[in-house]
């Protein structure tokens, strides 16, 4: 197989998204089962939010013109009560938070701001703002407005919005199916016995878990056989999956049986190699209708490329619109050196608004424990030899948000 030149990070990222065609098969599910699913159509408001004028405080509902007066309490209104306007002169309502406000009052005065409160009367303070503490019908959302957009991922708060509209069944895109594979004759599964010259396969558990953290369903399908004929047949049986993700076996020094096995199954390669540290040995392409992503074999490199490339690709595939990394700004705590001439993904964590680089950026891509002690990525552009102390930097958090518009994440 001919190896392609290493692509610049930005070019490889764009090519990664270009080869992804979103899956558009939909299904209807109950909202209590919809967490993490992607909306396949806009949701239009059919019930005003709030649904009626209501009180934002426990207190007294008055006419603003009665400020400074002692008023008789006409009645007490609780949330859920249906009360018609019935005030006479110099009267008010005692009202609870969330209760519907009759149309003969225009202001709510919190009980703690009032004077001489008895069961029958209350003295209202002067200098009130008309309309204070009154939540108006439709001020948050009006009937006919779009409240949730196609391509949004459903969070707990968005499911609450669906419930507020009386929606119990929602149309979403079907989940994509993902197969995760490993390569390497030296690998033993964690449930097997490993000799001194063998290592346990941690990459598969790592990648499957990273995908599940973002709500994707992934299936571990085993280690690819170490000869061309067996690996070709093995991969042939994976074409029913929407995505196949592998780790290892694609660097310049590796035997190319795995790449050849994919090619024998119709893989069209988008690129092979990215100018990034760590993680240069990466390949993507399409095999019939299956998206193929081959990650490096080293755990840190595989993990970082999952964050930087795989997540956006899978988000687009499952119909999401927010597929681009967002970043937060932080002050760099300790100066450290970075690779020049290519993008470098640097591990670290955020502590009190500062970025603290992991192990002074001195760790190998085959290490495992540094991943557990990190929670963020700094992507260096490769144009500077170091990141200075107190320098403002852009940070991608492991659990960070995604945007529907691309922003520059490089430092």
Number of domains in the chain: 4
* Residue 125 and residue 201 in one domain: no
* Residue 168 and residue 242 in one domain: no
Average pLDDT of the residues in 306-320: 98
Q: Is 372 part of a structural domain of the chain?
A: yes
Choose one of 317, 342, 377: the last residue of a domain. 317
Q: What is the pLDDT of residue 194?
A: 62
Burial class (CB in 10 A: 0-12, 13-18, 19+), 369: exposed
- Least Cα distance to 50 among 148, 142, 118 occurs for 142
Burial class (CB in 10 A: 0-12, 13-18, 19+), 235: buried
Q: Is 134 part of a structural domain of the chain?
A: no
Within 8 A by CB and 6+ apart from 338, the residues are 344, 346, 361, 380, 382, 384, 385, 386, 387
- CATH number of the domain within which 37 lies: 3.90.105.10
Look-up of token digits 């001194």: 196
* Residue 237 and residue 275 in one domain: yes
Cis upstream peptide for 387 (omega within 30°)? no
E strand or H helix at 212, and its extent? helix 203-213
Q: What is the pLDDT of residue 189?
A: 67
pLDDT digits (tens, 9 = 90+) for 279-310: 998 999 999 999 999 999 889 999 999 999 99
Token code pair at residue 127? 């200098």
Average pLDDT of the residues in 123-142: 95
In three-state secondary structure terms, 260 is: helix
Does the pTM exceed 0.85?
yes
Range with lowest mean pLDDT among 69-78, 94-103, 223-232: 223-232
Average pLDDT of the residues in 119-143: 95
| pLDDT tier for residue 221 given thresholds of 50, 70 and 90 | very high
Q: Cα dihedral sign for 230, 236, 237, 238?
A: positive
| Length of the chain measured in residues | 411
Cis upstream peptide for 314 (omega within 30°)? no
Q: What is the pLDDT of residue 249?
A: 77
- CATH number of the domain within which 341 lies: 2.40.340.10
Average pLDDT of the residues in 38-61: 96
Burial class (CB in 10 A: 0-12, 13-18, 19+), 127: exposed
pLDDT digits (tens, 9 = 90+) for 330-377: 999 999 999 999 999 999 999 999 999 999 999 887 788 999 999 999
* Residue 106 and residue 187 in one domain: no
Task: Answer whether 178's CB lies under 8 Å from 140's CB.
Answer: no
Task: Answer whether 386's CB lies under 8 Å from 335's CB.
Answer: yes
Average pLDDT of the residues in 153-168: 97
Q: What is the pLDDT of residue 227?
A: 77
User: What mean pLDDT is reported for the chain?
Assistant: 92
Q: Is 270 part of a structural domain of the chain?
A: yes
Does residue 253 surpass a pLDDT of 70? no
Q: Is 409 part of a structural domain of the chain?
A: no
Q: What is the pLDDT of residue 267?
A: 95
Q: What percentage of the chain exceeds 70 in pLDDT?
A: 93
Q: Is 411 part of a structural domain of the chain?
A: no
Does residue 254 surpass a pLDDT of 70? no
Does residue 142 surpass a pLDDT of 90? yes
Q: What is the pLDDT of residue 183?
A: 80
Q: Do β-strands 343-351 and 354-357 pair in parallel, antiparallel, or remain unpaired?
A: antiparallel
Q: Is 187 part of a structural domain of the chain?
A: yes
Q: Which residue segment(s) compose the domain that 255 sits in? A: 9-25+175-317
Percent helix / strand / coil, the chain, rounded to 5: 20, 30, 50
Average pLDDT of the residues in 2-21: 88
- Least Cα distance to 261 among 234, 288, 221 occurs for 234
CB atoms within 10 A of CB 136: 13
């Amino acid at each position: 197989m001919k190896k392609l030149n290493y692509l610049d990070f930005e070019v490889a990222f764009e090519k990664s998204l270009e080869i992804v065609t979103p899956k558009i098969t939909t299904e209807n599910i109950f909202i209590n089962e919809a967490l993490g699913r992607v909306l396949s159509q806009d949701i239009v408001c059919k019930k005003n939010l709030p649904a009626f004028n209501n009180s934002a405080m426990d207190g007294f509902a008055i006419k603003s013109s009665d400020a400074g007066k002692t008023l008789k309490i006409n009645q007490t209104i609780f949330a859920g009560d249906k009360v018609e306007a019935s005030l006479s002169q110099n009267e008010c309502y005692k009202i609870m938070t969330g209760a519907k406000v009759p149309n003969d009052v225009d202001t709510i005065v919190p009980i703690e701001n009032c004077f001489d409160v008895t069961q029958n009367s209350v003295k209202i303070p002067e200098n009130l703002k008309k309309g204070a503490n009154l939540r108006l019908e439709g001020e948050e959302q009006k009937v006919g407005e779009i409240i949730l957009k196609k391509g949004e991922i459903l969070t707990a708060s968005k499911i609450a919005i669906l419930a507020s509209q009386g929606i119990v069944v929602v149309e979403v895109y079907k989940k994509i199916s993902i197969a995760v594979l490993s390569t390497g004759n030296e690998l033993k599964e964690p449930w097997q016995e490993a000799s001194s010259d063998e290592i346990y396969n941690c990459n598969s558990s790592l990648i499957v878990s990273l995908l599940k953290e973002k709500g994707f369903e992934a299936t571990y399908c085993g280690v690819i056989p170490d000869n061309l004929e067996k690996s070709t047949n093995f991969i042939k049986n994976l074409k029913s999956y929407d995505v196949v993700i592998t780790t290892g076996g694609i660097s310049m020094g590796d035997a190319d049986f795995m790449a050849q096995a994919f090619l024998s199954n119709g893989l069209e390669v988008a690129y092979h190699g990215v100018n990034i540290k760590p993680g240069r040995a990466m390949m993507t392409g399409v095999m019939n209708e299956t998206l193929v992503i081959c990650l490096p074999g080293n755990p840190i490199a595989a993990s970082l490329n999952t964050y930087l490339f795989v997540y956006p690709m899978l988000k687009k595939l499952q119909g999401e619109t927010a597929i681009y990394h967002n970043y937060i700004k932080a002050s760099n705590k300790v100066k450290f050196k970075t690779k020049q001439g290519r993008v470098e993904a640097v591990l670290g964590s955020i502590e009190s608004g500062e970025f603290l680089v992991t192990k002074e950026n001195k760790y190998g891509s085959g290490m495992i424990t540094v991943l557990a002690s990190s929670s963020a990525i700094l992507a260096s552009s490769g144009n500077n030899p170091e990141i200075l102390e107190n320098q403002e930097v852009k940070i991608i958090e492991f659990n960070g948000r995604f945007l529907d518009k691309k922003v520059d994440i490089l430092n």
